[in-house]
Amino acid sequence: MSSLVMRRSFGLRFVAIAFAVVASIGLGLAQGDKAAPKAAGNKYIGADKCKSCHSSETSGNQHGKWLATAHAKAFEKLGTDEAKKLGKEKGVDDPQKADACVKCHVTAFGVAATELKAKPEQLKNVQCEACHGPGENHMKARFAAAAAAGDNPDTSKRQVVPEGEIKVEVEPKDCKVCHNDQSPSFKPFCFHERLEKIQHYDPRSGNKVESPLTACPCDDKCECKKGACAKLPQKQ
Ligand code: HEC
Ligand code: HEC
Ligand code: HEC
Ligand code: HEC
């Protein structure tokens, strides 16, 4: 469990898992293997698929919020004069055609074709699955749950997504796959400050970004030190 963000759903999720375990014991464990999501065969499906379920305001409109971030235009950015100038310094003619640039400006770069359900065209830009991993199993499970819930689902509560169905906790190291000094325009990366800019929490979850002022201990390991800890009263 990441301590970098305030997640209130953990308790709830734990209770739900405990309930599911008790329920499956009740059923003589017959459902046990069905309940476990299979990691194998989980493919990248592209952000357009997530859009169908993640664009309502009630649940936080993750797709709309993502569209408004630089991540959603990261590939187009490689076609700008600014990019061509940066490219030239690296001996690159067309950044949109050079792996040396494309690798951090698209989703699932370098992933085997057998693990992609979406076409490369549909995986341009830094999409949901760049941070949350492949979403095929999650999509299938949620469509099945929606079908089971019938015509009048209770949208006041969030559905409980079993652990492992999709990657939920995204940590600083997941961002630093791209936000590192291999980027020709690298700027120091303070996770909490950056997360604030791209956050897309569901208002019903109660989760929120913890302020770097309280989340980040003012020691040598804190990368937010310059920005955040400078604002704190210094310990004697
Ligand atoms: C697959 C690579 C990749 C990953 C993973 C990634 N980013 Fe980015 N990020 C980019 C690129 C490329 C840009 C620049 C896009 C542009 O300017 O067009 C960017 C831009 C940003 C910006 C906008 C900067 C600005 O000044 O407007 C923020 C904020 C940001 N990222 C936060 C994050 C956070 C937080 C994470 C992890 C939770 C993350 N990123 C993960 C590639 C990535
Ligand atoms: C290691 C990953 C990585 C590689 C490789 C990479 N970029 Fe980026 N790029 C990023 C990230 C992350 C950002 C966002 C910068 C930030 O906010 O720190 C970015 C931002 C940009 C921007 C927006 C300007 C800015 O300051 O935000 C341009 C233009 C750009 N990259 C062009 C290129 C070009 C051209 C190449 C190839 C020569 C390239 N990038 C290679 C990760 C990468
Ligand atoms: C740059 C990385 C990044 C991208 C792109 C991204 N997310 Fe997230 N997402 C995160 C992080 C970080 C969290 C917070 C994780 C935590 O609280 O531990 C999160 C949380 C969530 C949550 C949980 C909300 C809650 O209230 O707990 C949902 C749902 C979600 N993302 C869906 C999406 C969808 C759908 C897209 C694409 C339209 C998307 N995300 C794109 C990084 C990303
Ligand atoms: C068929 C509908 C559907 C599709 C398609 C879908 N989701 Fe979800 N997703 C849900 C539901 C339902 C939840 C549970 C929260 C709720 O009730 O809104 C959820 C929750 C999540 C969570 C948070 C899980 C948690 O435990 O807090 C993430 C992250 C997420 N989705 C990402 C994605 C991404 C990324 C995609 C596309 C690759 C996607 N979703 C596609 C319906 C869907």
* pLDDT tens-place values along the chain, 236 residues long: 344 455 543 333 333 333 333 333 333 333 333 333 445 679 999 999 999 999 999 999 999 999 999 999 999 999 999 999 999 999 999 999 999 999 999 999 999 999 999 999 999 999 999 999 999 999 999 999 999 988 887 888 899 999 999 999 998 899 999 999 999 999 888 888 889 899 999 999 999 987 766 666 555 556 666 555 555 554 43
Give 71 Cα–ligand 1 centroid separation in angstroms. Answer: 6
Give 232 Cα–ligand 1 centroid separation in angstroms. Answer: 27
pLDDT reported for residue 229 = 57
- The tokens describing 174, both together, are 């997941």
Q: Could you state, in order of their start, the residue ranges of all structural domains in the chain?
A: 5-228
pLDDT reported for residue 172 = 86
- What's the CATH fold of domain 5-228? Flavocytochrome C3; Chain A, domain 2 (1.10.1130)
pLDDT reported for residue 155 = 81
Cα(164)–Cα(179) distance, rounded to whole angstroms?
25
Max distance between CA atoms of the chain, in angstroms, equals: 65
- Tell me whether residue 11 is exposed, middle or buried, using C-beta atoms within 10 angstroms of its C-beta: 0 to 12, 13 to 18, 19 or more: exposed
| Rounded to 5°, angle at Cα 44 from 193 and 201 | 35
Q: Flag whether the pTM goes above 0.85.
A: yes
pLDDT reported for residue 75 = 98
pLDDT reported for residue 220 = 56
| Rounded to 5°, angle at Cα 133 from 127 and 137 | 110
The residue type of 85 is K
pLDDT reported for residue 2 = 40
Q: Taking CB atoms and a 6 Å cutoff, what residues make up the pocket around ligand 1?
A: 70-71, 73-74, 77, 104-105, 126, 130-131, 170, 174-175, 177-179, 194-195, 197-198
